[in-house]
Chain A
Amino acid sequence: MHRFANPARFLRLAAAIQPWTAAATVLLIGAGLYFGLIASPADYQQGQTVRIMYVHVPSAWLGMACYSTMAIASAMALIWKHPLADLIGKSAAPIGAAFTFLCLVTGSLWGKPMWGTWWAWDARLTSMLILFFLYLGYMALANAFDDPTRGAKASAVLALAGFVNVPVIKFSVDWWNTLHQPASVTKIGMPSIDPSMLLPLLLMGVGFTTFFVTVLLVRVRSEIMASKIRAIRLMQIHSTPGAVASGEVVG
């Protein structure tokens, strides 16, 4: 783990991995969409609307997985002061917020024909909404300080405090008697979902994950670049005589 604390080494590794994850994303989501939209049967009860599941469920998984990534990265940043962990947490937050938002929107679109309502104050839906607000709070806090390192540390503490919500989301369908259906894929024993539907769902799930990894790598690389540019500009300012005195400070 500490091997990758060196940004140069991380950049080389990221540049090597990124084309592969990007290619895997295109293939997996492409195949998932083909099987999900064309080659899989419509549900005997839900009809064609069941196809919303192939976007809704993976984005819910990723919404929680991003938060877990953020929480683990935050713990690493706080405990070992790992320089890249801060960047990973900061970069994962907008992606996770987008997945959570996508999950809420597709869930709402799915809920209207199935439950007859866009929104229900059900435990699973409410806890997912809270997750979305936690992402917003995290991003707001990370950008609220003049000193970016202080923002990174404060938001890391918040990410860990908010992590209590993730198991609540996961088990909300088991703890409360909810409108939202209980887990059907991660059941002990056989999943209660037909293989013809499980295949596109899993393809999309893995595809969304590789998409997350790709975007995360892009964002972390650009964060490293941005801090390099900042350092170069500062060096230029200090090497140009009189630049500081004349107030030509470039942020």
Chain B
Amino acid sequence: MTRLSEIIRRDLRLALRQGSDSIMVVTFFVLTVVLFPFGLGPETNLLERTSAGILWVTALLASMLSLDRLFLADYEDGSLELLALTPTALELLVIGKVVAHWLTTGLPLIVAAPVLAVLLQMNGDGFATLVLTMLLGTPTLSLIGAIGAALVLGARRGGVLLSLLVLPLYVPVLIFGVGAIDAAVQDLPSKAQLLVLGGMLLAALPLAPWAAAAALRQALE
């Protein structure tokens, strides 16, 4: 447990000192969401109906934006090999890095999402569900993304390849995230979708670090 918190604290310290990642991700999120009213037209009904989808798709892309840096910086300067040599299990290292990644990119997105929902004219009933789906969904995105980030280490055109690998696996999270918000907006129960989102998080929590650690081992061979 102390080792896990050491890894998280190290990554957070690095992220805060270098400083740019969280701000860039949130800026990307805000700017891309703001593009939609220009593209679709400022019609209130249309925006209200599409707001859940726009927010989720954009949040998904934003969280993917910073994924290729999850292991790459450590891989390139060699500290990943040193971390792998420590007695800490590689799976634990992955969990620590994912937690730090989520705290620096996922959490700011959740804070920004309700503000953007106001701009997109989302029905007030959907706000609580929006935050809830993002709380359950974005950690899953970070976990699945860690597998992709570990797999493309050392590959040519890693960044583009990463999106090709990770986006198909993101689809279920997107479907249930948007489904829950749509149900809440229409005054229907959204419990089922939220439970599925929670289930996916619980399944990804042990399985994704395991797969990502296997991929890291091959990258370090």
Residues 120-136 of chain A, each 1 if its beta carbon lies under 8 Å from chain B, else 0: 00000010001001101
Q: Are A137 and B171 in contact (CB under 8 A)?
A: no
Q: Are B167 and A133 in contact (CB under 8 A)?
A: yes
Chain B binding site: helix, strand, loop or mixed by DSSP?
helix
The count of A-to-B residue pairs whose CB atoms sit within 8 angstroms is 60
Q: Are B165 and A158 in contact (CB under 8 A)?
A: yes
Say which residue of A137, A141, A144 sits within 8 Å of B168 (CB atoms): A137
Contacts of B12 in A (CB 8 A): none
Contacts of A146 in B (CB 8 A): 156
- Check if A153 is an interface residue, CB within 8 A of chain B: yes
In Å, the complex CA distance between A160 and B211 comes to: 9
Q: Which residue of A lies closest to B175 (CB)?
A: A126
Q: Which residue of A lies closest to B200 (CB)?
A: A164
- Check if A154 is an interface residue, CB within 8 A of chain B: yes
Contacts of A161 in B (CB 8 A): 147, 169, 211
Q: Are B151 and A158 in contact (CB under 8 A)?
A: yes
Given A150-B154, A158-B151; A140-B164 close (CB under 8 Å): yes
Q: Are A141 and B165 in contact (CB under 8 A)?
A: yes
- Check if B218 is an interface residue, CB within 8 A of chain A: yes
Say which residue of A134, A136, A154, A162 sits within 8 Å of B218 (CB atoms): A154
Q: Are B161 and A154 in contact (CB under 8 A)?
A: no
- Check if B17 is an interface residue, CB within 8 A of chain A: no
Q: Are B214 and A144 in contact (CB under 8 A)?
A: no
Q: Which residue of B lies closest to A136 (CB)?
A: B164
Say which residue of B154, B165, B211, B214 sits within 8 Å of A137 (CB atoms): B165
Cβ distance A36 to chain B, nearest Cβ, rounded Å:
33
- Check if A20 is an interface residue, CB within 8 A of chain B: no
In Å, the complex CA distance between A112 and B156 comes to: 41
Q: Which residue of B lies closest to A145 (CB)?
A: B155
- Check if A78 is an interface residue, CB within 8 A of chain B: yes
Cβ distance B191 to chain A, nearest Cβ, rounded Å:
17
In Å, the complex CA distance between A180 and B176 comes to: 20
Classify chain B's interface size.
20 to 34
Q: Within B139-159, which residues are at the interface with A (CB < 8 Å)?
A: 147, 151-152, 154-158
Say which residue of A126, A134, A141 sits within 8 Å of B155 (CB atoms): A141
- Check if A157 is an interface residue, CB within 8 A of chain B: yes
Residues 56-94 of chain B, each 1 if its beta carbon lies under 8 Å from chain A, else 0: 000000000000000000000000000000000000000
Q: Which residue of B lies closest to A154 (CB)?
A: B151
Most chain A beta-carbon contacts within 10 A, residue among B156, B167, B168, B214: B168
Contacts of B158 in A (CB 8 A): 144
Q: Are B147 and A144 in contact (CB under 8 A)?
A: no
In Å, the complex CA distance between A141 and B161 comes to: 7
- Check if B110 is an interface residue, CB within 8 A of chain A: no
Residues 137-168 of chain A, each 1 if its beta carbon lies under 8 Å from chain B, else 0: 10011001110001101100110111001001
In Å, the complex CA distance between A162 and B172 comes to: 12
- Check if B54 is an interface residue, CB within 8 A of chain A: no
Contacts of B168 in A (CB 8 A): 130, 133-134, 137, 162, 165
In Å, the complex CA distance between A151 and B151 comes to: 9
In Å, the complex CA distance between A150 and B161 comes to: 15
Q: Are A145 and B156 in contact (CB under 8 A)?
A: yes
Given contacts A144-B155, A154-B152, A158-B165, 15 further A-B contacts (CB under 8 A): A130-B171, A133-B168, A140-B161, A141-B151, A141-B155, A144-B157, A145-B154, A145-B155, A153-B218, A154-B151, A154-B155, A157-B147, A157-B151, A157-B218, A161-B169
A–B complex contacts, Cβ < 8 Å, 14 sampled: A126-B171, A133-B164, A134-B168, A137-B164, A137-B165, A140-B164, A144-B156, A144-B158, A150-B218, A150-B219, A154-B218, A154-B219, A158-B147, A162-B169
Q: Which B residues lie at the A interface, using CB under 8 A?
A: 147, 151-152, 154-158, 161, 164-165, 167-169, 171-172, 211, 214-215, 218-219, 221
